[in-house]
Amino acid sequence: MSTAAELAVGFETDLLELHARKRAERTSLPLRTDEDVVHLRKHVRERAVGIGLSLVDQTKLITAASELARNTIKYGGGGAVHLDKLADGLRQGVGLVFVDTGPGIPDLELALRDGYTTGGGLGLGLGGSKRLVDEFEIDTRPGEGTAIAVVKWKR
């Protein structure tokens, strides 16, 4: 495990602090290899179980995390992910912020559409992940990088 500072990827984005005031805890992990994705899934599962997300919501969040982590590695050339425990009054949630310093997404609307891919995949990663979480925000800048923040709240 590394600190957020060690994993800073040089792409300045407000999404990193999107839920700063609701954040109770942050774990930051590198995203470089296949194994990092498996590692992240394990961490997300632990955190989701920790706040008592239902099994279906756990599965949705972990699946979204897996898709987005793969995007960070495949299209963003690797980066980092920040895994947050969120508390908003009595409401608890798990937040994830994926950051890379890749080429950015030139046409966001197109990238969010099901079936659109530039990488030979199924093109379900972005649009599909968005459906699996409660909050989904993207900050992408051509030539600088992409940050994606998602949140799943406990119902």
Partner 1 sequence: MERIPILRMGDLLLVTIQVDMHDRLAMTLQDDLTERIVRDNAKGVLIDISALDLVDSFIGRMISNTAAMARVLDAQTVVVGMQPAVAITLVELGLTLHGVKTALNVEKGMALLGKNLNR
Binding site for partner 1 (CB under 8 A): 34-35, 37-38, 41-42, 45, 55-56, 58-60, 62-63, 66-67, 70, 114, 121-122, 124-125, 127-129, 131-132
DSSP state of 105: -
Whole-number Cα distances in Å, 126 to 27, 46, 65, 91:
23, 23, 11, 26
C-beta of 3: minimal distance to partner 1 in Å?
Answer: 25
Cβ closer to partner 1: 30 or 127?
A: 127
Cβ distance to partner 1 smaller for residue 63 or 92: 63
Tell me, what DSSP letter sits at residue 53? -
- Least Å distance between CB 100 and partner 1? 17
CB of 6 vs partner 1, minimal distance in Å = 23
Residue with tokens 């425990």: 85
Return the ∠ at Cα 62 (arms to 87 and 48), rounded to 5°: 35
Please, which residue, 119 or 142, has the CB nearer to partner 1? Answer: 119
Distance CA 155, CA 152 (A): 9
58 vs 140, beta carbon nearer partner 1: 58
Is-contact 46 25, C-beta < 8 A? no
Q: Please, what is the minimum distance in Å from the beta carbon of residue 68 to partner 1?
A: 10
